[in-house]
Chains A and B, each alone.
Chain A
Amino acid sequence: MSVLRRKHGSARWLALITWLYVIWSLAPVLVAVRISFNSGKSRSSLQSPSFRWYWGDPTSSVWHDESLHTALFNTLQLAALCMLIATPLGVAMAIGLHRWRSKVSTGANGLMLVPIVTPEIVFGVALFLVFTELYSGVPSGMPRQLIGHITFTMSFVVVIVRGRLVAIGDQYEEAARDLGATRLQAIRLVLLPLLAPAIFASVMVVFATSVDDFVISSFLTTGASTDTVPIKIYSGARGSSTPALNALATVMLCFTLLAVALAAWAMRRMSRRGGEDVGTAGGLAGLSG
């Protein structure tokens, strides 16, 4: 404790830098949200508040402009399907790789990590080319985007769940086996409940990654009907756009925060037993080494 007190001077500077950073990182987004409530067309200054760009404007509000709410539905649908497919695939793969020890599994393990370090543009180009040149039977648009998102997010699930598997250890499952459970029963009744927090964390990460993805979606889009929210925000900046773009981004932000809050709440309920802190931060930090 005495160490802390002696260091007060430098700690104060660090605190200042940290709080300035936090304000700098979040305040612009708050301004963007506030601009979405502008009553006029200005995207740069604050005007009197209204819901014009949400539903008030009869042509270009999020509610009335078809391309905008299509993008919103596309993004949510893509993220939901991606969650439903990537999570089970990733969880099963994590359990398998954790127990299965052989040369093949070492290779599979290395392979699983490569997508995490592959720049998104490589992903986008590779998927774009494989679908045009080889898997041309896969319907273009949403199915291709979905496959891309699953391929991109699955490894995150594996990494998060594997970290948790290592922390749990093998003893619970062995105890279940000693007490007469079959291997599948031991997984279903013992391992999966213990993994629940990690699975929830993965679901959140998959959702956020899918919703946020711009490169893969844009390489595989076929036009307005398969554009996602990030594509809309990106292409909107070039033309003479309105605060409707801000409104669209704000609606998307609300959905994401709601999903995160729900998952965090569910996670807390499920891991009430101990003081285990396997929150999102833990999951994300584990992800990046």
Chain B
Amino acid sequence: MTAAITTAGPRRRTRFWAAFAVPGVGWLIAFFVVSVYAVMAVAFGTIDPVLRTAVPAWNPLQWDFGAMSDVLDRVFGGDLGVVFVRTFRFVALSLAGCILIGYPVAYYVARKAGKRRGLLLVLLVLPFWISYLMRMLAWTNLLQLDGIVNDVLQFLHLQDEPHNWLDGNWYTVVFGLTYGYLPFFILPLYSTLERIDGRLIEAGRDLGASSMQTFFRITLPLSVPGLMAASVITILPMFGDYYTNTYLTSGSPKTEMVGNQIESYLLGTSQPQTGASLVLVLMAFLFVLMAYYLYTTLRQQRMAER
């Protein structure tokens, strides 16, 4: 800091800069922190015996954990457990799909595309500007019984009769999730791969390693932070997703995810207490991932500002 900035005195200076942050911080406290607290107040509150509406308990001393323990019983070993396991499976399979397709793509565009890199980058970013549900709408068009996918498969004699893809099949949901979240997976991975110092790879090659060896011993380990960031950034929204599966299976219960349960408890059957408890359980499951993201981002920030 130069003399000019320090002359104002440290306290006034702090107040000056703090004043810039106050409106935003205040907004986040009022509408984010308090909102999340409202979920807890409802989950640990009671139910009005006559109206059957939620009576939130704003004072933590009056919290009642009855509803939560019911929900936990159903999650560990009950009907909700099945839904949680299914959600885990869908997310894991979709993440595997994202890695299998996304890694080669990000790697090629970041390190091998040469002159085409600019064009490819634009094409990779393009899906960001297309509404997620429009991209899903496109697949409901393509996957209809008399749709183009069935036409092509029959033309190639890969199947004799049109297949009903939108009939509550798990593979359609995994396919949809992979398709939907791949753009979000590729970009963070791309930015890590692109920043890897090319001299390290050249050094590996010059010292006699094959291209496979340099990839597995230099590029891949150096891209692990990007792979983690990309995975976290796709897993978190996938866990809360309830529209992709509903949309691609016309709401079949066979492919119901945790998000569907939460949505129907709050908007469908008006059992806000159960819905709010489920949200807290979901957040507890995702806590490690969220904390990992916060920790690495804050560390990067500190390193960049040093």
Contact = CB atoms under 8 A, between A and B. Distances in A.
Interface of A: 3-4, 6-7, 10-11, 14-15, 17-18, 21-22, 24-26, 28-29, 31-32, 35, 42-45, 89-90, 92-93, 95-102, 104-105, 108-123, 125-130, 133-134, 147-148, 150-151, 154-155, 158, 162-163, 166, 170, 174, 177-178, 183, 208, 211-212, 214-215, 219, 229-230, 233-234, 237-238, 245-246, 249, 252-253, 256-257, 260, 280-281, 284-286, 288-289
Contacts of B301: 109, 162, 166
B170 interface: no
B284 to A, nearest CB: 11
A199 B19 CA distance: 20
Contacts of B126: 25-26
A126 B35 contact: yes
A93 B297 contact: no
Contacts of A230: 131-133
Contacts, number: 319
Contacts of A121: 240-242, 259, 262-263, 279, 282
A252 B131 CA distance: 8
A248 to B, nearest CB: 9
B298 A6 contact: no
Given A125-B266, A246-B137, 14 more contacts: A21-B101, A44-B147, A99-B17, A110-B294, A121-B263, A134-B38, A174-B2, A208-B128, A214-B133, A214-B243, A219-B267, A238-B250, A286-B191, A288-B229
Contacts of A111: 25, 28-29, 32-33
A96 B120 contact: no
Q: Point out which of B31, B179, B202, B294 has the most chain A C-beta atoms below 10 A from its C-beta.
A: B31
Contacts of B139: 28
A14 B301 CA distance: 33
Interface string B3-15: 0110010000010
B31 A92 contact: no
Given A28-B138, A119-B282, A281-B187, A133 B132 contact: no
Interface residues of B, number: 118
Interface in B14-37: 14, 16-25, 27-29, 31-36
B106 to A, nearest CB: 9
B81 interface: no
Contacts of A237: 137, 140, 247, 250
B73 interface: no
B63 interface: no
Contacts of A115: 28, 32
A211 B282 contact: no
Nearest to B143: A44
A131 B144 CA distance: 39
Contacts of B1: 170, 174
Contacts of B80: none
Nearest 3 Cβ contacts at the A-B interface: A119-B240, A96-B21, A93-B24
Nearest to B188: A288
21 contacts: A10-B211, A17-B101, A17-B104, A18-B120, A21-B101, A43-B141, A113-B293, A115-B28, A117-B294, A119-B236, A119-B237, A121-B241, A123-B35, A126-B38, A151-B31, A166-B301, A212-B131, A234-B243, A253-B131, A281-B122, A289-B226
A163 to B, nearest CB: 8
Contacts of A174: 1-2, 4-5
B131 A21 contact: no
Interface stretch (B64-72, B108-116, B153-161): B108-116
A124 to B, nearest CB: 8
B290 A114 contact: yes
A256 B243 CA distance: 22
Contacts of B146: 42, 44-45
Contact of B112 (A14, A112, A177, A212): A14
